[in-house]
Amino acid sequence: MFGDANGTMMFAMLLPFLAALIAPKLTQIMGAKAAWLLAIAPAFIFLHIAGFLPQVALIGTSPDHPPITGGYLWVPEFFVSFSWFIDGLSSTFALLISGIGTFIILYAGGYLGGHPQLGRFFSFLFLFMGAMLGVVLADSFFTFFIYWELTSITSFLLIGFNHKSAASRRSAIQALVVTGGGGLALMAGLIMLWLTTGSNSFSFMLSSEDSIAFYSKYLTQSPFYLALLLLVLGGAFTKSAQFPFHFWLPNAMEAPTPVSAYLHSATMVKAGVYLLMRLNPLLGGTTEWLTILPIFGGATLIIGTLLAVRQTDLKLMLAYTTVSSLGLLVMLIGFGTEKAIAAAVLYLVAHSLFKGALFMVAGIIDHEAGTRDITKLGGLRKAMPITFGAAVVAAISMAGLPPLFGFLAKEEIYYALIGADLWSIVFTIVAIIGNGLMFVIGFAVALKPFLDEKIETPKHAHEGPPLLWLGPVVLGAVAVFAGIFSWLAHYYISNPMSTAVWGAIVEIDLSLAALFHPSLPLLLSAITVAFGVLAYRNIDHLRTAIDNFYNWFFGGWGPDKGFDQFISGIVRLSFAITRRIQTGRLEVYMTFTFAIVALALFIPMWVYGEFPAMPDFTGEVRFYEAAIMAILVLGLLAVIYAQDRLTAIVSLGIQGFAVAVLFMLFGAPDLSFTQFMVETLSVVILALVMTRLKLTAADHRSWPQVIIDGVIALACGIGFMLYLMRVTQDKFDPYLSEFFSAYSKIIANGTNVVNVILVDFRGTDTWGEIAVVMVAGLAVLALVRIRPHRTIVADNDPDAPVKDNLVAKAEVSK
Amino acid sequence: MEAWMAVVVGALFAVSIYLMLSKHIIRILIGAAILGNAVNLLIFTNGRLTREVPPIIGVDESVLSAQAANPLPQALVLTAIVIAFSFFAFLLVLGYRAYQELGSDNTDEMRVAEPVDDQTPPLGY
Q: Which of A169, A742, A776 sits opposite B63 (nearest CB)?
A: A742
End-to-end CA distance of chain A, in Å? 70
Closest by Cα among A6, A104, A114 to A46: A104
Terminal alpha carbon distance of chain B: 66
Strands A68-75 and A2-3: antiparallel
Chain A residue nearest residue B125, CA to CA: A170
Please tell me the predicted confidence (pLDDT) of residue A808: 47
What's the whole-number average pLDDT of chain A?
Answer: 86
- Contact (CB<8Å) A670/B54: yes
Which of the 8 DSSP states describes residue A512?
G
Question: Across the interface, which of B21, B23, B47 has its CB nearest the CB of A713?
Answer: B21
Q: Is A546 helix (H, G, I), strand (E, B) or coil?
A: helix
Across the A:B interface, residue pairs with CB atoms under 8 Å apart total: 301
* Band of pLDDT at residue A75, cut at 50, 70 and 90: confident
Instruction: For residue A57, count other CB atoms closer than 10 A to its CB.
Output: 19
Q: What is the mean pLDDT of residues B29-57?
A: 89
Cα B102 from chain centroid (whole Å): 26
Identify residue A729 by its one-letter amino acid code. Q
The class of domain B2-51+69-109 in CATH terms is mainly alpha
pLDDT of A663 reads 92
How close, in Å, is residue B58 to chain A by CA atoms? Answer: 7
Rounded Cα–Cα distance for residues B12 and A632 (Å): 9
pLDDT per residue as tens digits for the range A745-783: 888 888 899 999 999 898 998 999 999 999 999 999 998
Least confident interval from A370-379, A612-621, A788-797:
A788-797
In whole angstroms, how far apart are CA A687 and each of A385, A691, B26, B93? 90, 6, 11, 13
Residue of A nearest to B53 (CA): A667
Contact A327, A306 (CB under 8 A): no
Helix (H) / strand (E) containing A18: helix A7-30
Cα–Cα distance, A266 to A261 (Å, whole number) = 6
The one-letter amino acid code at A372 reads R
In A505-585, which residue ranges form alpha helices assigned H by DSSP? 520-537, 539-554, 559-581
The domains of chain B are located at 2-51+69-109
Mean pLDDT of A407-414: 88
Q: Measure B100 CA to nearest chain A CA, in Å.
A: 7
Q: Which of chain A's residues have a Cβ under 8 Å away from the Cβ of B66?
A: none
DSSP per-residue codes, A187-218: HHHHHHHHHHHS--BHHHHTSSHHHHHHHHHH
Interior/surface letters A75-105, b for 16+ CB within 10 angstroms, e for the rest: eeeeeebbbbbbbbbbbbbbbbbbbbbbbbb
Q: Do A625 and B1 touch (CB under 8 A)?
A: yes
Question: Rounded CA gap, A523 and A488, in Å?
Answer: 26
Best of B22, B30, B43, B104 to disrupt the A interface by mutation (most A CBs within 10 Å)?
B30
B-chain residues near A771 (CB < 8 A): none
Mean pLDDT computed over A69-81: 80
pLDDT at A512 over 90: no
What's chain B's length in residues?
A: 125
For chain A, percent of residues with pLDDT exceeding 70: 95
pLDDT of A5 reads 53
Is B123–A571 a contact, with Cβ atoms under 8 angstroms apart? yes
Write the pLDDT tens digit of every residue in A429-476: 888 888 888 888 888 888 888 887 777 777 777 788 888 889 899 999
Residues of chain A found within 8 Å of residue B109, distances taken between Cβ atoms: none
Residue A185: which residues within 8 A CB-CB, separation 6 or more? A230, A231, A232, A234, A235, A238
Name the burial class of residue A784, with classes exposed (0-12), middle (13-18) and buried (19+) by CB atoms within 10 angstroms of its CB.
exposed
Rounded to the nearest 10°, the torsion over CA B80, B84, B87, B93 is -150
Give residue B23's Cα distance to chain centre: 18
Instruction: Say which residues have a Cβ less than 8 Å from residue A201's Cβ, sequence separation at least 6.
Output: A81, A83, A85, A139, A140, A141
Q: Write down the number of H helices and E strands in chain A.
A: 35, 3
Q: How many angstroms separate the CA atoms of A585 and B21, rounded? A: 11
Indicate the pLDDT class of residue A204, thresholds 50, 70 and 90.
Answer: confident
Mean pLDDT of B44-60: 86
pLDDT at position A134 is: 93
- What distance lies between CA A439 and its chain's CA centroid? 34
Residue-level pLDDT at B32: 92
Rounded CA separation A746/B61 (Å): 10
From B13, B89, B93, residue closest to A717, measured CB to CB: B13
The HSE-up count of residue A412 (CA atoms within 13 Å, CB side) is 33
Instruction: Suggest the residue from B2, B34, B37, B48 to mutate for an interface test with chain A (most A CBs closer than 10 A).
Output: B37
Stronger pLDDT, A581 or A597, i.e. the higher one: A597
**CA–CA gap between residue A46 and residue B54 (Å, rounded):** 78
Overall average pLDDT of the A558-585 stretch? 86
Q: What span, in angstroms and rounded, lies between the C-alpha atoms of A143 and A135? A: 8
Quickly count: other Cβ atoms within 10 Å of residue A811's Cβ.
8
Coil, helix or strand at residue B58: coil
CA distance A83 to A89: 16
Give B105 or B16, the one with higher predicted confidence.
B16
Q: Give the Cα separation of A102 and A417 in Å (integer).
A: 35
d(CA A686, CA A273): 70
B78 in contact with A, Cβ within 8 Å:
yes
pLDDT tens, residue by residue, A317-331 = 889 999 999 999 999
Residue A698 pLDDT level (bands cut at 50, 70, 90) = low
φ and ψ of A334, to 5 deg: -75, -10
Cα–Cα distance, A677 to A680 (Å, whole number): 5
Does residue B81 register a pLDDT over 90? Answer: yes
Distance from CA of A756 to the nearest CA of B (A): 9
Q: Quick check: A756 and A744 in contact, CB under 8 A? A: yes
Report whether pLDDT(A263) > 90. no
Selecting from A567, A629, A758 the residue whose C-beta is nearest the C-beta of B78 gives A758
pLDDT given for residue A811 in this prediction: 46
- Do residue B108 and residue A585 have CB atoms under 8 angstroms apart? yes
> What is the mean predicted confidence (pLDDT) over A192-198?
89
The pLDDT of residue A40 is above 60? yes
Q: Would the CB atoms of B105 and A693 count as touching at under 8 Å? A: yes
Q: How confident is the model at residue A421 (pLDDT cuts 50, 70, 90)?
A: confident
Measured over the CA atoms of residue A766, residue A772, residue A778 and residue A783, the dihedral's sign is negative
* Of A437, A439, A369, residue with least CA distance to A404: A439
As a whole number, mean pLDDT of residues A788-813 equals 50
Nearest CB to A659; choose among B20, B37, B89? B37
| pLDDT single digits (tens) A646-697 | 888 889 999 999 999 999 999 889 899 999 999 999 899 888 887 777 666 5
pLDDT at A697: 57
A666/A649 Cα distance (integer angstroms): 26
To the nearest whole Å, the CA of B39 is away from the closest chain A CA by: 10
Query: Across the interface, do B38 and A720 touch by the CB < 8 Å criterion?
Result: yes
Per-residue buried b or exposed e for A468-494, using 16+ beta carbons within 10 Å of the residue's own CB: bbbbbbbbbebbbebbbebeebbbbbb
Contact B55 A667 (CB under 8 A): yes
Q: How far apart are CA A109 and CA A104, in angstroms?
A: 8
Q: In what order do the strands lie in the sheet with A68-75?
A: A2-3, A68-75, A80-86
In terms of average pLDDT, the best of A27-41, A496-510, A541-555, A785-799 is A27-41
Which of A215-224, A595-604, B97-106 shows the lowest per-residue confidence on average (mean pLDDT)?
A: B97-106
CA angle A413, A417, A418 (to 5 degrees): 120
Q: Which of A388, A226, A252 has the alpha carbon at shortest distance from A326?
A: A252
The whole-angstrom separation of Cα B90 and Cα A778 is: 9
Min mean pLDDT across A280-294, A359-373, A445-459, A747-761 is at: A445-459
Task: From A250, A441, A453, A456, select the one nearest A361 (Cα to Cα).
Answer: A441
pLDDT value for A705: 85
Q: Which amino acid is at B46?
A: N
* ipTM field: 0.93
Question: What is the number of alpha carbons within 13 Å of residue A424 lying toward its C-beta?
Answer: 12
**What is the DSSP secondary structure assignment for residue B70, as one 8-state letter?**
P
pTM of this prediction? 0.77
Q: How many CA atoms lie within 13 A of A436 on its CB side?
A: 24
Does the structure show a pLDDT above 60 at B117? yes
Distance from CA of A799 to the nearest CA of B (A): 14
Interface of B with A in 8-67 (CB under 8 A): 8-15, 17-24, 26-30, 33-34, 37-38, 40-42, 44-59, 61-64
Confidence tier at A801 by pLDDT (50, 70, 90)? low
Q: Is the pLDDT of residue A14 over 50?
A: yes
* A131 vs A93: CA distance, rounded Å: 13
The full 3-state SS of A74-104, as one line of letters, equals: EEHHHCEEEEEEECHHHHHHHHHHHHHHHHH
> Strands A2-3 and A80-86: what pairing?
unpaired
